[in-house]
């Protein structure tokens, strides 16, 4: 931008200087022509030869000046065109209410939430990062797979799920239980409606954010889902599954898919006000209004359809970009769900917690986060591929923030991941 501004200033100064010269030459020509008319015939003949020569010289100079002027006009126009083309990038402002649509972060650091991108890497933070990188790159992908195999059946002490058992018809899966200890009870429209929904609060040790985790709604629980959204004043909901995957129903469509459409679910009115796209994510602005209530809840619903069930995304930065959008829109409670609300959902929360802890200078192990997470949302981080992927995402974050310091180690880990064919 500075170079273009200098080009404008330089071209403008030259243009003014040349324009003055051209005007001066023009006045001399006019003065000479006027004098031709005013002088006597004899005097004209005496001065004719010198006048003609002088006039020709001035005209030649004028033509030369004109060409130079044209050249600089072209330069100014070219600079102006380049300036206008670059202006959206140079002066792009982040909206206070909406991410830019269809903008893929070109710089890796722009894929990070602002809080992570701008965080100061203190000495304690750098020590925690160094220990994390060294431990997991030495443990390797196979070591992580072995660790998951040894702990995949982990269940916390005194774990109960009585409400889950009593509401079998409201659960999507019979084998994915809902912990009584962290279960969220519905209060809106109770009675006559039930207070049960397959949802838990998750607040991990060392993390700042609390998450509402839940299963994808089934046909009979769409109303319950929107009651939960309004009750908890959810500002952003990340839906991480498609409605159907591999020929199986994974999530009932519970919001209008077109802008300006609305639908009623029980006593809840749901209106999709706007839709934008961000990379592989569709971001819906949705308004929810209970019957007889004047205060609506407006949230951003981020729909991600490229994360396969029980698997991981192809691009590791997809997870970071998802978290960037979640952070950007999180003005209130954060809700995350996939189909069961444990595998993909748990992976996102685990990544968030580990990075938050590292930025605070706290030494962190995935196994500790995994067990803490499963104590609050049963069966979270469902597969070995997701378990390893959590570390891969954190390593990508570390490489973005620290440059080439750990590049060789991260590259080796990624190659092991590809070779293991876990994606």
- By annotation, the residues acting in catalysis are 338
275: CB partners within 8 A, 6+ apart: 258, 259, 282, 283, 284, 285
Three-state SS for the chain is CHHHHHHHHHHHHHHHHHHHHHHHHHHHHHHHHHHHHHCCHHHHHHHHHHHHHHHHHHHHHHHHHHHHHHHHHHHHHHHHHHHHHHHHHHCCCCCCCCCCCCCCCCCHHHHCCHHHHHCCCCHHHHHHHHHHHHHHHHHHHHHHHHHHHHHCCCCCCCCCCHHHHHCHHHCCCCCCCCCCCCECCCCCCCCCCCCCCCEEEECCCCCCCCEEEECCCCHHHHHHHHHHHHHCCEEEEEECCCCEECCEECCCCCCCCCCCEEEEECCEEEEEEEEEEECCEEEEEEEEEECCCCCCEEEEEEEECCCCCCCCCCCCHHHHHHHHHHHHHCCCEEEEECCCCCHHHHHHHHHHHHHHHHHCCCCCCHHHHHHHHHHHCCCCCCCHHHHHHHHHHHHHHHHHHHCCCCHHHHHHHHHHHHHHCCC
């Amino acid at each position: 931008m500075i170079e273009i501004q200098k080009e404008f200033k330089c071209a403008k100064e030259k243009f003014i200087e040349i324009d003055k010269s051209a005007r001066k030459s023009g006045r001399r020509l006019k003065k000479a022509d006027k004098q031709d008319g005013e002088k006597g015939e004899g005097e004209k003949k005496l001065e004719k030869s010198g006048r003609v020569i002088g006039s020709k010289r001035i005209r030649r100079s004028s033509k030369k000046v004109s060409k130079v002027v044209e050249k600089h006009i072209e330069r100014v126009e070219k600079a102006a065109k380049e300036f206008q083309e670059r202006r959206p990038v140079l002066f792009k402002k982040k909206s206070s209410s909406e991410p830019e649509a269809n903008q893929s972060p070109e710089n890796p650091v722009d894929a990070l939430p602002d809080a992570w991108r701008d965080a100061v890497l203190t000495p304690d933070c750098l020590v925690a990062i160094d220990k994390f990188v060294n431990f997991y790159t030495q443990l390797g992908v196979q070591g992580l797979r072995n660790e998951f195999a040894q702990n995949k059946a982990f269940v916390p002490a005194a774990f109960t799920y009585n409400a889950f058992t009593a509401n079998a018809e409201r659960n999507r899966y019979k084998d994915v239980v809902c912990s009584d200890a962290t279960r969220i009870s519905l209060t809106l429209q109770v009675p006559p409606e039930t207070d049960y929904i397959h949802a838990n609060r998750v607040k991990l040790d060392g993390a700042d954010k609390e998450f509402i985790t839940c299963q994808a709604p089934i046909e009979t629980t769409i109303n319950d889902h929107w009651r939960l959204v309004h009750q908890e004043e959810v500002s952003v909901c990340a839906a991480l599954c498609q409605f159907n995957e591999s020929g199986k129903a994974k999530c009932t469509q519970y919001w209008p898919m077109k802008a300006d459409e609305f639908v009623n679910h029980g006593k809840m009115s749901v209106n999709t006000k706007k839709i934008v796209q961000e990379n592989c994510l569709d971001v819906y602005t949705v308004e929810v209004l209970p019957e007889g209530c004047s205060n609506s809840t407006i949230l951003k619903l981020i729909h991600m359809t490229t994360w396969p069930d029980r698997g991981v995304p192809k691009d590791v930065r997809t997870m970071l970009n998802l978290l960037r959008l979640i952070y950007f829109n999180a003005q209130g409670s954060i809700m995350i769900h996939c189909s069961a609300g444990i595998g993909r959902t748990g992976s996102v929360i685990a990544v968030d917690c580990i990075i938050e802890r590292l930025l605070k200078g706290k030494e962190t192990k995935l196994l500790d986060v995994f067990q803490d997470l499963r104590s609050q949302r049963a069966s979270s981080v469902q597969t070995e591929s997701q378990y390893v992927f959590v570390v891969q995402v954190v390593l990508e974050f570390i490489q973005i923030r620290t440059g080439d310091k750990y590049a060789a180690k991260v590259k080796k880990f990624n190659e092991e991941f590809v070779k293991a064919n876990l994606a």
